[in-house]
Amino acid sequence: MKKALFALVLILALSAAVLLAPRAGTPAAPVSGPAVLLVNAAHPLPEDFTPGELVNLYEQKRHFLLASSGIQLERETFEAANRMFLQAENEDMNGFIVTSGYRSRERQAELYAQAEGNTAQLPGCSEHETGLAFDVTARYDHGTFEDTPQFTWLSAHCWEYGFILRYPKGKEAVTGIDYEPWHYRYVGEAAARIIREQGWTLEEYCAQAAQGI
């Protein structure tokens, strides 16, 4: 029964992804669509990629804090994040601070040039260029977001709102990125639920989805 349900959810998610996928300039991802877009070193965004409608978070009614006034996210991602942080607030879990959202390719190139060691993605290869990902910390985080109750809450609930912890511990070989407890990626509720249930990364989800087509 559970397997059948999973198959149904996957089929529905894939149908939606196929229907919604852009026909031209599609990035080299096995499953594409507004939310389920694989971006990594092997799947860079096309040069002419443009994100969906971006909103400046500072100008929105928000249930979270901001590290600066210029942070933007794609609208659906912001709305899902806001619902998530409202629920956190309702459970007395406050003090989330969004520190980073959308970055232009030019901004990513600057960061890459400034970064020491292996800490920044090549321009075109950062999820931040999609507007679908944000970095977060907590007000009383002393450099270890992972040790905060906010992190525990987010880990338990983010998938309910369509988000995944994009670079989990122990999956470094799959994602190619060191564990990042602060980086969350919007993929939509259906994909987030499957990724959570299966213990997959987005890379694994997209590989499975491609096989299933």
Nearer to Zn ion, 176 or 208 (CB): 176
129: DSSP letter: G
Residue 110 annotated in active site: no
Among the options 79, 110, 146, 180, which is catalytic? 180
Which positions from 131 through 170 interact with Zn ion, judged by CB under 5 A? 135
165: DSSP letter: E
Smallest distance, Zn ion to C-beta of residue 173, A: 19
74 binds Zn ion (CB under 5 A): no
148/153 Cα distance (integer angstroms): 9
Binding Zn ion (rule: CB under 5 A), the pick from 171, 183, 185, 193 is 183
Cβ-contact 189, 208 below 8 angstroms: no
Nearer to Zn ion, 61 or 143 (CB): 143
The number of CA neighbours under 13 Å toward the Cβ of 61 is 2
Buried b / exposed e over 43-68, threshold 16 CB at 10 Å, is bbbeeeeebbebbebeeeebbbbbee
Smallest distance, Zn ion to C-beta of residue 71, A: 12
Smallest distance, Zn ion to C-beta of residue 170, A: 19
Active site residues: 180
The contact set with Zn ion (CB under 5 A) reads 135, 183
